[in-house]
C-alpha cells in the first residue's frame, strides 16, 4: 500500500492559523535577539536555535535556546504523522 501524499492546502491553512503565526513570530524574535546578542549578521550556515524543553503548543517565552546543527535539531523533533 502506498503512503498518502502531503496535503499542502491543509498544511498552508494550518500555518496561517493565528496560534501558529504567533509562534512563528516568537521564534523569529528569539533568532533576532540571539543574533543581536552575539553580534551576528546571519546565523551560521547549517545551524539553528534549539528551543530546549519546548513543546508544540504554548509560549516560547523564557525557553532556553542553544545553537545546534540543523540535523541535530531536526532529528530530535517528534514525528509528524
Q: What is the pTM of this model?
A: 0.74
What's residue 53's pLDDT?
A: 77
Between these two residues, 55 and 71, which has the higher pLDDT value?
71
Q: Flag whether pLDDT at 79 surpasses 80.
A: no
DSSP codes of every residue in 2-69: PPPPP-HHHHHHHHTSHHHHHHHHHHHHHHHHHHHHTT-SSPPTTEEEEETT--SSS--TT--EEEEE
Q: Flag whether pLDDT at 15 surpasses 80.
A: yes
Q: Flag whether pLDDT at 70 surpasses 90.
A: yes
pLDDT band with cut points at 50, 70 and 90 for residue 81: low
The crossing angle, in degrees rounded to 10, of helices 8-15 and 18-37 is 70
Query: Quick one: which of 51, 56, 53 has its CA closest to 73?
Result: 51
Amino acid at each position: 500500500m502506498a503512503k498518502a501524499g502531503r496535503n499542502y492546502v491543509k498544511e498552508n491553512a494550518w500555518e496561517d492559523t493565528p496560534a501558529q503565526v504567533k509562534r512563528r513570530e516568537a521564534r523569529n524574535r528569539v533568532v533576532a535577539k540571539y543574533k543581536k546578542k552575539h553580534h551576528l549578521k546571519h546565523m551560521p550556515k547549517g545551524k539553528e536555535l534549539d528551543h530546549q524543553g519546548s513543546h508544540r503548543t504554548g509560549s516560547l517565552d523564557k525557553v532556553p535556546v542553544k545553537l545546534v546543527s540543523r540535523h541535530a535539531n531536526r532529528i530530535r523533533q517528534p514525528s509528524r504523522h
